[in-house]
């Protein structure tokens, strides 16, 4: 056996994502590079590790065992590196955060200075929809989650970061900005572009439309906030979107806010963690950093 740590890390990522494409994106590698490393890793075993059906990767029973062992080896390597850093008096370890997709416009500003000040801290961040983020939190797989909608129950602790405002937006040349125009008429002219089921933004949209008694006949469903934005920019339809992700487009005039009764909808970007969670030294330090610097970060980047 002559496999490398790099091959182990790539195999674990493929096992986690069940996709060569997704693994390459998360590892910032090309798909051919990932495929080659997986092929080289596989060549060292007589039994198959994976099966590829279509574009989806399935682990064999043997592959599942190897993936578990590989994760343990990687954790041990991290532990060795962290012990060295501890002797040098540095804060070390991994900060694990799950973020709803539109939260990617928020969380980097609350991480940058902390990571610069603590070079021994590694960041593991998963960006997904609200359902997946809640699943990560429920399984205690992360230190913190960033959400824009409250999570039901009393098993969580919260730290509010800043407000999240959602508006109806579209292209200026195809959407009437008259504030008296009825949203029901808009809904009959162009498709409403939705996020996928499980998205917090979609939940907000559906709640608003139901409350305003607006029936949407034409719908388009897309899997990310960025995809929705590009579809609106292309003139495919309009959508209710968090303003934080479209600031540049509003400033340059490629998108406009369409005034509507009941909008904007305001929620809160909130850092959430399990009640009574025993935070690692890194997680404790990060929480303290956010408490101490939240107002300065908001003032600098979000006012």
Q: For residue 77, is it within any domain?
A: yes
Residue where a domain terminates, one of 29, 58, 89:
89
- Under the banding of pLDDT at 50, 70 and 90, the label for residue 177 is very low
Strand partners, 159: 271
Residue 141 near residue 112, CB atoms below 8 Å = no
Domain total for the chain?
2
CATH code of the domain in which 81 resides: 1.10.10.10
Structure confidence at residue 86 (pLDDT): 60
Q: What is the mean pLDDT of the chain?
A: 86
- In this predicted model, which residue has the larger pLDDT, 176 or 93? 93
Residue range(s) defining the domain that contains residue 203:
163-267
- The whole-model pTM stands at 0.66
Q: Is 13 inside a domain boundary?
A: yes
Q: What is the pLDDT of residue 179?
A: 47
Of 16 and 79, the one with more pLDDT: 16
Among 44-48, 87-91, 133-137, the minimum mean pLDDT is found in: 87-91
Q: Is residue 184 part of a domain?
A: yes
- Residue 107, domain member (yes or no): no
pLDDT tier at 174 (50, 70, 90 boundaries)? Answer: low
What does the pLDDT read at residue 185? 47
Q: DSSP letter string over 115-184?
A: HHH-TTEEEEEEEE-HHHHHHHHHTT--SEEEESSPPPSSSEEEEEEEEEEEEEEE-TTTS---TTS-HH
Of 275, 265, 243, nearest to 256 by C-alpha is 243
The domain that contains 259 carries what CATH number?
Answer: 3.40.190.10
Token readout for 160 is 């509010």
Cα–Cα distance for residue pair 67/62, rounded to 1 Å: 9
């Amino acid at each position: 056996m002559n496999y490398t740590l790099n091959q182990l890390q790539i195999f674990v990522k493929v096992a986690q994502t069940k996709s060569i494409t997704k693994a390459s994106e998360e590892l910032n590698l090309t798909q051919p590079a990932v495929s080659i490393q997986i092929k080289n890793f596989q060549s060292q075993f007589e039994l198959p590790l994976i099966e590829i059906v279509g574009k989806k990767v399935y682990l064999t029973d043997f592959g599942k065992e190897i993936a578990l062992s590989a994760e343990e080896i990687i954790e041990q390597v991290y532990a060795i590196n962290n012990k060295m850093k501890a002797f040098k008096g540095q804060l070390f370890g991994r900060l694990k955060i799950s973020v709803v997709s539109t939260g990617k416009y928020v969380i980097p500003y609350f991480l940058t200075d902390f990571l610069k000040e603590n070079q021994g801290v590694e960041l593991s961040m998963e960006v997904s929809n609200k359902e997946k983020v809640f699943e990560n939190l429920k399984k205690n797989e992360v230190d913190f989650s960033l959400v824009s909608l409250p999570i039901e129950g009393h098993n969580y602790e919260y730290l509010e970061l800043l407000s999240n405002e959602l508006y109806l937006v579209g292209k200026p040349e195809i959407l009437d900005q008259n504030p008296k125009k009825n949203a029901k008429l808009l809904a009959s002219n162009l498709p409403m572009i939705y996020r996928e089921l499980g998205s917090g933004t979609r939940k907000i949209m559906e709640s608003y439309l139901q409350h305003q008694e607006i029936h949407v006949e034409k719908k388009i469903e897309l899997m990310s906030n960025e995809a929705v934005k590009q579809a609106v920019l292309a003139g495919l339809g309009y959508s209710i979107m968090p303003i934080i992700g479209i600031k540049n487009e509003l400033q340059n005039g490629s998108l406009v806010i369409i005034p509507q009764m009941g909008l904007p909808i305001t929620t809160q970007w909130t850092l959430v963690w399990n009640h009574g969670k025993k935070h690692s030294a890194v997680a404790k330090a990060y929480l303290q950093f956010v408490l101490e610097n939240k107002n300065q970060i908001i003032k600098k980047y979000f006012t």
